[in-house]
Chain A
Amino acid sequence: MTLTTALALGQTALKLGLICSLTVLALFLSYSMLNVCDLSTDGCFTLGAAVGAAVAICGHPFLSIFAAMLAGACSGFVTAFLQTKLGVESLLAGIIVNTGLYSINIAVMGGSSLLNMNKTTTVFSMMKEALSSTPFAAQTELIIGLIAVICVVAFLVFFLKTRLGLAIRATGNNADMVKSSSINPVFTTIVGLCIANSFTALSGCLLAQSQKSVDINIGQGMVTIALASLLIGGTVMGRGGILKRAVGMVLGAVIFRLVYTIALRFNMPAFMLKLVSSIIVVLAISGPYLKSQWPQIRRRLTHKKGGI
């Protein structure tokens, strides 16, 4: 592999990693902070992509981003409402919303399962035009991804230290404590999931616009991929403050994409992505568990061999 191909690989991984890290940051809020495994992530990602594309095609490139985020927040609200007010199990609420979103996404895309944005003005095409005379023209996606990531990380660092942010963290950290304090867990869960899902939708919107197309399956398996990135990021960065952990999430997303891109380079077929992400999640979750079980397993083995 020459240096140029390596650089090109790194760039693709960085570009995709940055855009997808927004979903990882969303899970950082819902999964790590609020302790809710939000299985509506896949559908919400596609929703963001579909709404973003539909609005951009109508000729509103900037509005498309906010419309996508608003749509994501609405989807998060429904998921949260189901689990806090209507007595639906948290995991089930996510699955139900995810299923429902499939129909909504096709409806948003005008009944088709594919939208093309080849001639649509998006933030990416606008940025490319603005940078056309500079050497950064080829890095548009990187720059926009970076801006979005910095904004979201900055928001999270600010937000999670406010009183509301602390309340959301406490809701996920000690439900008993929240119950007997003056925090309303219904309110914190709703706010947390709305914000998290708006980031997921933003992530989908940006990915679709950078690829210039949306397909109904764009978000499939996103929750596992994001979870894999989240666990990698957590391992890489270890314990620390919110900023350090959030940066870890972005790093995790980029590392995941990098490994995947390299694997593709070694002739791994593209359809293996989902399997690889599933295996990473299993390893990351069961690794520490098996490690804690190891002394017992070893004792059993020595016992079988006739030892003590």
Chain B
Amino acid sequence: MLKLNHISKTFNPGTVNEKVAVKDLSLHLKKGDFATIIGSNGAGKSTLFNAICGDFLTDSGSVVLDGVDITFQPQHVRAKSIGRLYQDPMRGSAPGMSIEENLALAAGSGGWLSHISKADKERFREQLALLDIGLENRMSQPVGLLSGGQRQALTLLMSTMDPPKLLLLDEHTAALDPATAEKVLNMTKRIVEENHLTCLMITHNMHSALELGNRTLMMDSGNIVLDISGKEREGLTVDGLLEKFNAGAGKELDNDRILLSKKK
């Protein structure tokens, strides 16, 4: 589904602030793959997502999604087939617009001059009810009134309502309190399974990294240093994963939040 061929990105080249964010990275995701990504600070995890979404053009290499070369496609064109959630719950929805208006924008059906129809509203209501947080009764309220967890759940719904070819989750539960985070994570699991989405998820939680999905990637210094799936992944513990990382990257993992999450 997603093929990254030798992509590289250097920020501020030729200056003292030069930063090689991603270096000769290749990745091949099969349709329906759900891969979790962990890595040290500044390993290039978010840069990888930005490169896939087209926030910037890569310096070299190509990005192929579902057989289409999207390396030079503008961001808003790619966004039709890529859903994305950020860590900050405020980034994914428009606070001054109502829940149904946000959903209508995300649903993307109808022409430019079409209005929200009764059928649309019914569909939104059903989908919101599935989230089970009472949003279906507040559809005409502005999104700005929702809590962070509710907004993140709404954003999740918005980006998966028209099932995207690829779903990118950038620590989307990290800014939520533990109980809400778990709820949103369970929603994510359900939605990804039901729609057989191909998904990449950055997380700092080693347990989720091993529990969720069918593949775990570890990144360091702009590249993937560890890629485990199948049998190898099944019996793996958090300590085992850390050992493997140290062996792969040739150094200790330096992400405090990841290390703190070791003990559940």
Contacts and interface: CB of A to CB of B under 8 A. Distances in A.
Interface of A: 161-164, 166-167, 169-170, 173-174, 176-177, 179-185
Given A183-B105, A184-B74, A169 B96 contact: yes
Interface centre among A164, A173, A180 (most CB of B within 10 A): A180
A228 to B, nearest CB: 22
A174 B108 contact: no
Q: Which 7 A-B pairs have the closest CB atoms?
A: A173-B94, A164-B112, A184-B76, A182-B79, A176-B91, A174-B94, A182-B80
A182 B77 contact: yes
Interface of B: 53, 55, 74-77, 79-80, 84, 86, 90-97, 101-102, 104-106, 108, 110-116
A184 B75 CA distance: 8
Contacts of B111: 163
A87 to B, nearest CB: 16
Given A161-B116, A181-B76, A182-B79, A166 B91 contact: no
B96 A163 contact: no
A266 B60 CA distance: 72
A163 B104 contact: yes
Given A180-B53, A181-B106, A173 B97 contact: yes
A181 B107 CA distance: 11
Contacts of A170: 94, 97, 102, 105
Contacts of A173: 94-97
Classify the secondary structure of A's interface with B: helix
B112 A180 contact: no
A230 to B, nearest CB: 16
25 contacts: A161-B116, A163-B110, A163-B113, A163-B114, A164-B112, A164-B113, A169-B101, A170-B94, A170-B97, A170-B102, A170-B105, A174-B93, A174-B94, A176-B91, A177-B91, A177-B94, A179-B75, A180-B92, A181-B76, A182-B76, A182-B77, A182-B108, A183-B76, A184-B74, A185-B76
Contact of A162 (B53, B86, B112): B112
Contacts, number: 68
B82 to A, nearest CB: 8
B141 to A, nearest CB: 11
A182 B82 CA distance: 9
Contacts of B74: 184
Contacts of A176: 86, 91-92
A164 B108 CA distance: 10
A163 B77 CA distance: 17
Contacts of B105: 163, 166-167, 170, 181, 183
A161 B79 CA distance: 22
Nearest to A191: B112
Contacts of B108: 182
Nearest to B116: A161
Contacts of A184: 74, 76
A180 B85 CA distance: 9
A166 B76 CA distance: 16
